[in-house]
Amino acid sequence: MNGESPKPVTWETFAAGLWRENPVFVMLLGMCPVLAVTNSAVNALAMGLATTFVLVASGLLVSLLRAAIPKQVRIATYIVIIATFVTIVDYTIQAISLDLYNALGAFIQLIVVNCIILGRAEAYASRNRPLPAVVNALGMGVGFTFALLCLGGVRELLGAGSLFGVALFGDRFEPWVVMLLPPGGFLVLGGWLLLFAWLRRRRGQAVSVEGGTCHTIR
């Protein structure tokens, strides 16, 4: 698209966040919202979309301002930019659906400290032109939403016997309530990581999943 761009926008720019660098399953970033709001598929989807919006918008702005931001105060600047967009999302969700707003609670505002967003701003958006920055942020956001849906879907299916609020198993199903409670979040995510480790082993890849933290990106 941009002939003179040093890093052309390819499918790979977008797809990195989907699987190979999936923020949740591979990089283990942004764990708090991942576990806290995924007790139903609807909540998971809403949280994923909100985070994607903040990722893309802040990625664009950071990329546009990357020449104007002094190196010394860049982290503070990024946080103020991110906090602005999170405030927008917060008030928007409150206006669209109060039920959803109450279900997500403080976790909408806690998107600010989600390390994925700050990590992308620091590691990608501040070094690239606006278009690749937006495409990459979109990929990360979709990957994050996908991971949230994986967790939210399984937890709602086991814990309430439904998916997106539609009952699937009929009246005879005894809901496994613990899956909706906090321990279920830990156990289901542990299970997914186990599944991916097994898949990776089967393909013979010697990629080890580090017990990574938010801190490694700083």
Partner 1 sequence: MPHDSLSFIFLDAVLANNFVLALFLGLCPFLGVSGRLETALPMGLATTFVMLVSSICAWLINAILVTFQIEFLRLIAYIAVIASAVQLVEMALKKFSPGLFRALGIYLPLITTNCAILGLALFQTFRHYDFLQSLVFSLGAGGGFTLAILLMAGLREKLALAEVPSIVQGAAISLILGGLLSLTFMGFAGLGGQT
Return the residue of 36, 49, 103, 138 that touches partner 1, per CB under 8 A.
Answer: 36
Closer by beta carbon to partner 1, 9 or else 148: 148
Q: DSSP of 106-124, one letter per residue?
A: GGTGGGGG-HHHHHHHHHT
Count of residues of this chain found to bind partner 1 when the rule CB under 8 A is applied = 47
CB 189 within 8 A of CB 8: no
Q: Which residues contact 57 (CB under 8 A, 6 or more apart)?
A: 85
Give burial (CB, 10 Å; 0-12/13-18/19+) of 163.
middle
Give the binding range for partner 1 (CB under 8 A) out of 13-21, 40-48, 103-111, 163-171: 103-111
Joined tokens for residue 68: 């104007």
Q: Is 106 in the site for partner 1 (CB under 8 A)?
A: yes
42, 65, 83, 131: which one binds partner 1 (CB under 8 A): 83
Q: Is residue 208 a contact point for partner 1 (CB under 8 A)?
A: yes
**86 part of the interface to partner 1, by CB under 8 A:** yes
- The first and second tokens of residue 41, run together, are 């598929």
Contact 52, 141 (CB under 8 A): yes
Answer yes or no whether residue 98 interacts with partner 1 by CB under 8 A.
Answer: no
115 binds partner 1 (CB under 8 A): yes
Q: Tokens standing for 88?
A: 């927008």
Cα separation, 27 vs 11, whole angstroms: 20
Q: Which residues bind partner 1 (CB under 8 A)?
A: 28, 31-33, 35-36, 76, 79-80, 83-84, 86-87, 90-91, 106, 109-110, 112-115, 118, 178, 181-187, 189-190, 193-194, 197-198, 201, 208-215, 218
